[in-house]
């Protein structure tokens, strides 16, 4: 199936629910769950160190560094499975990516809070390609400023093998989240391909 636009003001969203077949998605979920060196990172929340409600990993080109808590961190190298998926995602989106953030939501109790992917390293109008594997979860979107972007919040059911592309003004005008749910016990793995722009230090 092709990528199909989801019409929304001040956003540019495209969805292909069948980017991967059910079988390809299930096999990739098994492989990545077993082979990725998953981290359980702490974050500071209201002055307290707490563990993130999910497991994460960051892979990419050696130069695609990102800043985190004052540190400049190098991504883990591409694995063959991630490299192959990157090429597939680049072919259907026509965009280039040099890194991928992986999130493993072990059960419906794992989640991600409201945010935009608006780190300076991503530039002002990043293209972010999000592949989902495993359990279907609700991906929520809401305008950052409902006066500037008068539209109700919405929910997209991201199924196994789906590809969601966010580009244009999406990260400027909208926030997104993956809320907890008691209805899901199975894991979901999400990969967001990104292009990190590293400043020239000549
Ligand atoms: O799991 C998802 O679908 C969203 C992940 C996300 O927003 C992120 O990694 O920035
Ligand atoms: Fe995000």
* Residue 4 assigned to a binding site: no
- β-sheet bridge partners, residue 66: 73
Residues 1-32: tens digit of each pLDDT: 899 999 999 999 999 999 999 999 999 999 99
Radius of gyration of the chain (CA): 16
Q: Is residue 192 in contact with ligand 1, taking CB distance under 6 Å?
A: yes
Mean pLDDT of the chain: 95
ipTM of the complex: 0.99
Q: Which ligand is nearest to the CA of 131?
A: 1
Q: Is residue 57 in contact with ligand 1, taking CB distance under 6 Å?
A: no
* Residue 194 assigned to a binding site: yes
Domain 4-194 classification at class level: mainly beta
Taking the domains of the chain in order of start, what are their residue ranges?
Answer: 4-194
Residue 201 Cα to ligand 1 midpoint, Å, equals: 30
Look up residue 164 and give its two tokens: 């969601």
Per-block mean pLDDT, blocks of 10 residues, the chain (202 long):
96 98 98 97 89 96 82 89 98 98 98 95 96 98 98 98 98 98 98 89 52
Identify the burial level of 1 via C-beta atoms within 10 angstroms of its C-beta, where 0-12 means exposed, 13-18 middle and 19 or more buried: exposed
Instruction: Tell which one of 130, 159, 164 to mutate to probe ligand 1, the residue whose CB is within 8 A of the most ligand atoms.
Output: 130
């Amino acid at each position: 199936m092709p990528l199909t636009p989801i019409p929304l003001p001040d956003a540019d969203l495209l969805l292909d629910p069948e980017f991967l077949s059910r079988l390809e998605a299930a096999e990739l979920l098994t492989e990545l769950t077993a082979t990725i060196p998953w981290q359980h990172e702490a974050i500071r929340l209201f002055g307290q160190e707490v563990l993130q409600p999910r497991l994460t990993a960051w892979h990419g080109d050696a130069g695609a560094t990102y800043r985190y808590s004052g540190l400049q961190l190098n991504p883990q190298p591409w694995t063959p499975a991630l490299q192959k998926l990157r090429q597939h995602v680049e072919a259907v989106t026509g965009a280039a990516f040099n890194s991928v953030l992986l999130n493993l939501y072990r059960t419906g109790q794992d989640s991600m809070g409201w945010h935009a992917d608006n780190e300076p390293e991503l530039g002002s109008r990043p293209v972010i390609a999000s592949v989902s594997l495993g359990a279907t979860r609700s991906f929520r979107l809401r305008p950052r400023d409902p006066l500037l972007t008068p539209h109700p919040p919405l929910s997209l059911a991201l199924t196994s093998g789906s590809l969601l592309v966010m580009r244009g003004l999406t990260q400027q005008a909208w926030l997104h989240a993956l809320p907890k749910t008691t209805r899901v016990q199975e894991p979901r793995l999400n990969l967001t391909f990104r292009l990190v722009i590293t400043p020239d230090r000549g």
